[in-house]
Chain A
Amino acid sequence: MSFLSNVISGISLGSIYAIIALGYTMVYGIAKMLNFAHGDVIMVGAYVCFFAVSAYNLPPVIGVLLAVALCTALGMLIERMAYKPLRQAPSLAVLITAIGVSYFLQNAALLWWGSDPKKFPAFIVVGEQNGVSLFGGQLRITYVAIVTVVACVAIMAGLIAFTGKTKMGKAMRACSEDKGAAQLMGINVNATISMTFAIGSALAAIAGVLMCSAYDTLLPTTGSMPGIKAFTAAVFGGIGSIPGAFLGGLLLGVIQIFTQAYLSQELADAIVFAVLIVVLLVKPTGLLGKQIQEKV
């Protein structure tokens, strides 16, 4: 039974990684940049929701919506202020700027909200229970886990439909293939990129709230490690690919929980990263990545 419960917590953690990785992969696919500030947007989202619920006593749903709205605005603002002026610059310059933004968000959060860990309230409850017990209490599934997995699948399906069917989604795909050509076809490239950041940041906010509901401590540095993990998940699945990010996230979460349970608590991260290296060596573009032919 502990095996089943590990599978469930692995999938639930993996779903959180997958939601973050979806945002990462969208932004990478279009802006071709590693947005290191993504992890810190997660943290901001979690703090906003925390204060909305615990300090202002707003209902949790409003708290989540507020977090999503503020993070969307924050993502667009970051893009406008820090990344847009560097559209023509070498990619490493943008990378360093993203790191600067990441430091900025972390330290602003540290000053504003303090360094003491916040205890995130468990607000996904039905009655007094935060989960259901099955098989006479041997297996316990928290509601957070259920909500996380459902949200993750819904988001992935939504994103696939969005990029495949809507006009904006098609514009995004066009931009990710060739910005110059997209512009010539009358696509507003700047608006498209801005929209991508908005979607990515909204996803980050949702991930932040779900993550902090599952693992209840909240710190200004909470977002950075899941950010890195989710990025590896995106690469794992093949960066730029939406189903790839989903698959990569799930696998990463399951591998992490299983190594923690059966091999070693301390070595879990090392094993996760070792698996990543092996996968990339065997399949250098990730699990579902496309092979791009190099031209002379």
Chain B
Amino acid sequence: MKTEKKRRLRRNTRRSLINYAIVIAAYAIVQALNAGGNIKSSLQGQLVPICAYIVMAVSLNLVVGVSGELSLGHAGFMSIGAFTGIVAATALQAAIPAGWVRLMLAMVAGALFAGLFGLLVGVPVLRLRGDYLAIVTLAFGEIVKNIMNILYVGIDEKGVHIAALEGSRLVLSEGGVPIIKGPMGAVGIAKLSTFTAGFLLVLVTLFVVQNLVDSRAGRAILALRDNRIAAESVGLSVTKYKLMAFVTSAALAGAAGVLYGLNYTGLAAKKFDFNTSILVLVFVVLGGMGNIRGSIIAAALLTILPEALREFADFRMLAYAIVLIIVMLATNNPTMQQFFAAVMEKVRGTFRELFQKSGETVKGGGDHE
């Protein structure tokens, strides 16, 4: 019993450590390739978005995979985070010249704001279940997109000014700078995000999510997902734990939004629409629900995929759709699964034979039979 428990613990820790190692190794490889000039500029531009999408996917996985609630409005939190971060970074421009400090503060601000909205939305909404929760989160995402679309924010020496609907209402003194201009979005942003910052954010996200999942609270969240009624009857508070996962996820999405937003000189609210939410959901489902490593890999590969499919030119997105359908069919259809299992078994068998033959020559066969 005791040893069983010990091994169990170690397995979780090992799994987490492998995830850190994968991310660090990927970062090292990319940096090494970059130093050698082996990365195409088109891919180089993708590095920060890849990090942002990895954070998005891992955080959404906390809601969809670990907590078992379908959310279709994750891009809404990203949007809130991005625009908060942009305003914060621009407002602090004079006070703090160091870019990385501003980026960090912007991320904290974005995460706090997005987390706050997560709390506001989560408290009433987590009472709903299944597809109803999905549709409300979808509605939330659309509302955020709409409101961001009419928001005008500017800054002058008196502070930050906010107006809705018409730019003319935004009265700025001489030397004031408009930051967000309604449908045009944020313009003239100082690019602060770097690949290293993205890499660090991914590490922080992994740290937060993995430790949450492996904690007592994480086990409570898993128990509520697996059997809500049984978990409730042993005294676990549904609202508390579901909210914990939801708010953490929203805050991380906000930080990802800041990373994404400060990577471009201009950003419109349209970018964070329903399709972005769906894109992140695709990462999570393809990577495997509740599987953090899967989310990381799926987010990275699928962000690169449209670039890699560039040779198909116009057929690029069509090919993306076909790949998506085929992967879903291949991983979820029983017949296909059996076929793949059989193939894998054959491959494994061949390896085993090879291994046994070489093993026999060395040790004369090491198996126990």
Contact = CB atoms under 8 A, between A and B. Distances in A.
B135 A270 contact: no
Nearest to A32: B131
A111 B324 contact: no
Contacts of A92: 64, 70, 285, 289
Contacts of A107: 317-318, 321
A101 B131 CA distance: 20
B1 interface: no
Contacts of B322: 100, 104
B37 interface: no
B128 A103 contact: no
Given A232-B139, A266-B150, A296-B229, A108 B132 contact: no
Contact of A280 (B136, B282, B317, B320): B136
Contacts of A82: 325, 329
B128 A280 contact: yes
B146 interface: yes
Nearest to A278: B124
Contact of B124 (A96, A239, A281): A281
A96 B286 contact: yes
B174 interface: no
B136 A93 contact: no
B318 A270 contact: no
Contact of B127 (A88, A284, A286): A284
Contact of B138 (A101, A228, A296): A228
Report the interface size class on chain A.
Answer: 35 or more
A93 B143 contact: no
Interface in B117-146: 124-125, 127-129, 131-132, 134-136, 138-140, 142-143, 146
Contacts of A285: 132
B165 interface: yes
Interface string A78-106: 00001001101110110111011101101
A277 interface: yes
B190 to A, nearest CB: 28
A93 B139 CA distance: 22
Contacts of B140: 273, 277
Given A96-B285, A96-B286, A280-B136, A86 B324 contact: no
B335 interface: yes
A61 to B, nearest CB: 33
B318 A104 contact: yes
B317 to A, nearest CB: 4
A280 B132 contact: yes
Contact of A93 (B64, B285, B317): B285
Contacts of A111: 314-315, 318
Interface in B285-319: 285-286, 289, 314-315, 317-318
Nearest to A88: B334
B332 A89 contact: yes
B291 to A, nearest CB: 13
Interface in A260-274: 264, 266-267, 269-270, 273-274
Contacts of A116: none
A235 B131 contact: yes
A108 B146 contact: no
Contact of A85 (B64, B124, B329): B329
B363 to A, nearest CB: 45
B147 interface: yes
B281 interface: yes
B241 interface: no
A82 B332 CA distance: 11
A7 B285 CA distance: 43
B128 A284 contact: yes
B333 interface: yes
B278 interface: yes
B328 interface: yes
A127 B1 CA distance: 87
B322 to A, nearest CB: 7
A143 interface: no
B264 interface: no
Contacts of B333: 85-86, 89
Given A96-B282, A104-B321, A90 B332 contact: yes
15 contacts: A85-B329, A85-B333, A85-B336, A88-B334, A92-B289, A96-B324, A99-B324, A100-B321, A103-B320, A103-B321, A264-B165, A266-B146, A266-B149, A273-B143, A286-B132
Given A86-B332, A235-B135, 20 more contacts: A85-B332, A86-B333, A95-B70, A95-B285, A96-B281, A96-B324, A97-B325, A99-B278, A99-B324, A101-B321, A101-B325, A104-B321, A110-B317, A228-B142, A228-B274, A267-B150, A269-B146, A276-B139, A277-B139, A280-B128
Interface of A: 34, 82, 85-86, 88-90, 92-93, 95-97, 99-101, 103-104, 106-108, 110-111, 228, 231-232, 235, 239, 264, 266-267, 269-270, 273-274, 276-277, 280-281, 284-286, 294, 296
